[in-house]
Structure 1
Amino acid sequence: MLLQTTARKVILAIIAALLLVTTGKDWFDFYRCGAVDQCLMDAGVLQLYTKFAISFLLTVLAFIVTRDSFSKLDAKILRIAFIFSLLADSCFNIIKIAAPDERALSNTLGIAFFIMFQVGLIHRHTRKSETDDKPGKVHKFLLIPVAGFAASLLGGKVIEPTLGNVMLVVVAVYAIFLITSLVVALFVSRNSYFPAASARLIRWGMVVFFIGDALVGLALMTGEDHSTLQAVAEVANNFVWWAYVPAQLMLIASCRKSV
């Protein structure tokens, strides 16, 4: 137990240091490049490494903290969810390092893995007992838009199956899952399965996560170089991880026996 506590403190300290490095470099690049997308991308390679490192450490932390979970099954679900989160961040960062010109592919795969992350969270937050391990009604409802968008793409009559359109469809599906996950989390306090402190962390964790994704949405709305829209996008991008990291930490902490 002492070793786990020490490991948690060390990981949290490293995450904090990496977040400060990431933020400092983001704002330095913005000061140097201004609202010029290509300049910022070329200058931001370090942040791709630090963000992946943070995501990896968050996943390691999830595996450590869940050893002290109030529920073995809850711990298992949270671990699986964080594996998908790591895969998503791997796409967002590692693919961009290996293939800088494949941003659309990187974003599409990353968002797709985050859909699976939200699926895991929705399943986790709708469980009502320790033996409740089957998908609930919410998952069946979510199959409707997924099937609809998939049919539109595969048919090719409504939506042409290009990479750009696939990305738009994946973003639309993710938005549905994210909003559903937020609503489920806000009502999780009505589910007596979770301790009160855990339910509170889940609610706030998803609220902050939603704010982070709203910032991601703004960051993706790029415009002409030096334009106000481009500046807003870059400023929003520089705040994303200040929402993302606390949100992930709250979701991780929500599994502990004593919060």
Structure 2
Amino acid sequence: MLLQTTAQKIVFSLLALFLLVTTGKDWFDFYSCGAVSQCLSEAGTLQLYTKSVMTTLLTVLAFMKAPSAFCSRDGKLLRIAFVFSLIADYCFSLTTVIAPNSGSLGTLLGISFFMVFQTVLIYRHSRTSESDTKLPRVYALLAIAVLAGIILLATGTLELTVAIVVVYGVFVVTSMIVGILAPRKEYFPSKNALFVRWGMVAFFCCDACVGLSMVTGENHSALQAVAEIANNLIWWFYVPAQLMLIRASAKPE
């Protein structure tokens, strides 16, 4: 137990260190480049690696915490969710390094895997007991959103990237609402339910920053500056959100 606690503290310390390094480099680049997307993109290679390290550390921490979850099933769902978030983050960051000419492929794959991540979280947060295996009714809404996205894409109403972003928006808003309203205190300990709620709110804020970061404008324009500032804030919402979702699996003290 002592060895496990020490290992968790080491992982958490490394996570804090890499978050500070990433933040410092993000704002240094913004100071050096200003609101110029191309300059910031070329200067931000280090952050692609540090963000990959952070998401790996978060996943390691989730797997370390899962065996001591308040129930074994929640620990399993936690591990499944974090595997998909790890793959999604790798798609966002490492695809740019491995295949720099892949265009929006990494973004599309990343969003798709985060849809699966949110689907698992909705299932996790809507459980009412250890033996509850029924699918959440809200999955019907997600299916409708996917179908609508396919129709809008097939008819040429929306392009692929926009369609996937819109559909993901439905997923993350639904997941946040489920996270706020669904956790049952007779299943989730009261503190755990609180961590779920605030974790999902933080995750929504993270994705809102991601959305703002995708809105581009002219170099040095106010719109481009807002996009770059939002980009620099993403991980300050993302890391706490993931940590709270991990903490939500802990046994009551």
TM-score (norm 2): 0.96
For 1:8, what is the secondary structure of its paired residue? helix
Contact 1:91/1:106, CA 8 A, preserved across alignment: yes
Name the amino acid aligned to 2:93. N
Q: CA deviation at 1:258?
A: 2.5
For 1:101, what is the secondary structure of its paired residue? coil
| Bigger mean CA deviation after superposition, 118-127 or 101-110 | 101-110
For 2:217, what is the secondary structure of its paired residue? coil
- For residues 174-225 of structure 1, the C-alpha deviation after alignment (integer angstroms, 9 at most, x for no partner) is 1001011111111134452111010000000011111111111111111111
Q: CA deviation at 1:149?
A: 1.7
2:85 corresponds to 1:91: no
| 1:254 alignment partner, one of 240, 248, 251 | 248
Q: Provide the residue aligned with 1:128 in structure 2.
A: 128
Q: Provide the residue aligned with 1:42 in structure 2.
A: 42
Contact 2:125/2:183, CA 8 A, preserved across alignment: no
2:109 corresponds to 1:109: yes
Name the amino acid aligned to 1:222. T
| 2:155 alignment partner, one of 157, 160, 168 | 157
Q: Provide the residue aligned with 2:161 in structure 1.
A: 167
Name the amino acid aligned to 2:233. F
C-alpha separation in 1, matches of 2:183 and 2:42:
45
C-alpha separation in 2, matches of 1:179 and 1:68:
29
TM-score (norm 1): 0.94
- For residues 48-74 of structure 1, the C-alpha deviation after alignment (integer angstroms, 9 at most, x for no partner) is 000000001100100001111011111
C-alpha separation in 1, matches of 2:23 and 2:198:
23
Name the amino acid aligned to 2:197. R
Q: CA deviation at 1:20?
A: 0.5
Q: Provide the residue aligned with 2:202 in structure 1.
A: 208
Structure 2 spans left out of the alignment, 5+ residues: none
CA RMSD, Structure 1 to Structure 2 (Å): 1.3
Name the amino acid aligned to 1:79. R
Q: Provide the residue aligned with 1:182 in structure 2.
A: 176
1:236-251 matches, within 5 Å, as 236-251=230-245
Contact 2:77/2:124, CA 8 A, preserved across alignment: yes
Contact 2:95/2:106, CA 8 A, preserved across alignment: yes
C-alpha separation in 2, matches of 1:188 and 1:95:
35
Q: CA deviation at 1:168?
A: 1.0
Name the amino acid aligned to 2:122. I
C-alpha separation in 2, matches of 1:40 and 1:69:
41
Q: Provide the residue aligned with 2:186 in structure 1.
A: 192
1:47-66 matches, within 5 Å, as 47-66=47-66
C-alpha separation in 1, matches of 2:102 and 2:223:
23
For 2:104, what is the secondary structure of its paired residue? helix
Contact 2:69/2:249, CA 8 A, preserved across alignment: yes
2:16 corresponds to 1:16: yes
| 2:213 alignment partner, one of 210, 219, 223 | 219
Q: CA deviation at 1:159?
A: 3.7
Matched-pair identity in %: 53
- For residues 23-76 of structure 1, the C-alpha deviation after alignment (integer angstroms, 9 at most, x for no partner) is 000011111111111110000000000000000110010000111101111111
Contact 2:128/2:183, CA 8 A, preserved across alignment: no
Contact 2:63/2:79, CA 8 A, preserved across alignment: yes
Q: CA deviation at 1:228?
A: 0.8
Contact 1:188/1:203, CA 8 A, preserved across alignment: no
Aligned residues: 253
